[in-house]
Structures are given as C-alpha cells and as structure tokens.
Amino acid sequence: MTHRAGAGHPGGSLSEIDILVALYSTRLRYDPKQPNLADRDRFILSKGHASPGMYAILAEHGFIARKDLESYRVLGGICQGHVDSKWTPGVDFSAGSLGMGLSFGIGCAHAARLDESKRTIFVMLGDGELQEGSVWEAAMAAVHHELGNLKVFVDRNRIQNDDFVDAQMRMFDVPAKWKAFGWEVKEIDGHDMEEILEGLAWLDSIDEGPAVIIANTVKGKGISYMENNPAFHGAPPSDEQLLIGLRELGVEV
C-alpha cells in the first residue's frame, strides 16, 4: 500500500499488526456485513496514521475488499491516510491529531454503560503519543469513572515521527505511570502471539476499572532495513526495498 501510494506509515503498521491479528481473530465482537451494529465491540486506532495495518485487517475480515487497498491515499478512495469512519466500513474512530483516541474511548465506554450494553471498547495508543497531556487527563478520568469496559494497548515501539521517543521526550517508566493513575497494567512482548492472547484473556478478567497492556514492539518488525529505523515511520519503500521486504516476510515475488 505505502509503496503504491508513494507515502504512508509502514513502520508503525508492522509494530501493531500482531496485536490486531489476535484482537480481530479471537476476541473482538463484530459483523462485517453489519459494520454499524449497535452492540458490536469498538476498536479505536488512536495512532491512526498506522492505517495500512488496520486496512489489511479489515480486508482480511471482510469489511472491505482487497481491491479497496489500492485506494490507499487516493483522492476519493475509501482507505484514507488516517483511518476515517466516514470513508471506511469497520473504522470506529476518525483519527488525525494524536492524543484524542483515549478520550473518545471514554465516551464510547460511557455510552455502552448508559445503553446497558456488554460491548467492550479497545483503544490502541502509540508510545510517542503518550507525550500528549490529553492522554493522561483521559487516563485519570477513566479511573474516576470506573470504566471496566475500557481496554487499552500501548504499542511501545520506541520511535515517533522525528526520532526515537527517548530523543524527543523521555517517557521513563511507562508502566509505573499508568499504575500511578490507578490502572491495572500488564507488560507483554507485542510480537509473541501466546503472550498477546494471554494479555487479551487478562484484559477480560478486569471489570472494575480500566486496564492497559504495554506491548513492547519493534517498529518495522520483520523487515531488516525497517526494524528500529526512524526513517520508516512515515516513508514508503523504494522498488528495490519493496522486493527485499516482501521476501523477508515470506511473500513470493
């Protein structure tokens, strides 16, 4: 997608993809034939620039056609650069400026409570995004309102738009921060499927307040020249790099 468009965010899509595979394949309640079903679970990709990963999942699970992936970053296409609920079936949150997804998730969790619905609200944040003060205001509010139907993943790949997170603004002990705000916290390897599935089961076991999984991931996972490389936060591969990357991911080209 990013190669075809000549733009986009491959690195963060590869760091999130294992979590999305597990979530959509084993846990999230949805019906691709009825993407706006009122009682469906919600998934909010707060780091909405990592849309290629999201679109791949939506195509895999029947919300959109594989042909639709060719509309990525095309004017009028249904796969916009940032996920957008107006354009894409299965997208529950229109992203843009970072730091908004958790607040939106709180609203969704409150709505579920008012509806007396058992739907669960899942939010994925980036670790660079944690530098936004609005995230911590929302984290405090979620605990105050005892939103046990709110579950968060932090895709901690340690790279943001301009550089490594620690070079831009150190986050220090991220799990301790969430614990200090009153959240239940668990750390996992965000590329170990067994740990991800155990993490999902753990999230389901927490119902008296919000819970967060800190997923330690690798930006550009699986592609040698992308892994831990800030240059591929928002840059597509060249023709040669595309072929190398596909081969390393086990795709015959």
The DSSP 8-state label assigned to residue 82 in this structure reads: S
Cα→Cα distances 49→135, 142, 249, Å? 17, 24, 22
Per-residue pLDDT tens for 50-66?
Answer: 999 999 999 999 999 99
Q: What is the pLDDT of residue 91?
A: 98
Q: What is the pLDDT of residue 14?
A: 98
User: Is residue 184, in this structure, part of any structural domain at all?
Assistant: yes
Task: Give 188's strand partners.
Answer: 215
| Enclosing domain of residue 131 | 2-248
User: Is residue 35, in this structure, part of any structural domain at all?
Assistant: yes
Q: Is the pTM of this model over 0.95?
A: yes
Burial track 127-166 (b if 16+ CB lie within 10 A, e otherwise): bbbbbbeebbebbebbbeeebbbbbbbbbbbbbbeeeebe
User: Is residue 113, in this structure, part of any structural domain at all?
Assistant: yes
Average pLDDT, the chain: 97
Tell whether the model's pLDDT for residue 253 goes beyond 90: no
Per-residue pLDDT tens for 84-136?
Answer: 999 999 999 999 999 999 999 999 999 999 999 999 999 999 999 999 999 99
Number of domains the chain is built from: 1
User: Is residue 39, in this structure, part of any structural domain at all?
Assistant: yes
User: Is residue 163, in this structure, part of any structural domain at all?
Assistant: yes
User: Is residue 58, in this structure, part of any structural domain at all?
Assistant: yes
Q: What is the pLDDT of residue 86?
A: 96
User: Is residue 253, in this structure, part of any structural domain at all?
Assistant: no
The CATH code of the domain that includes 154 is 3.40.50.970
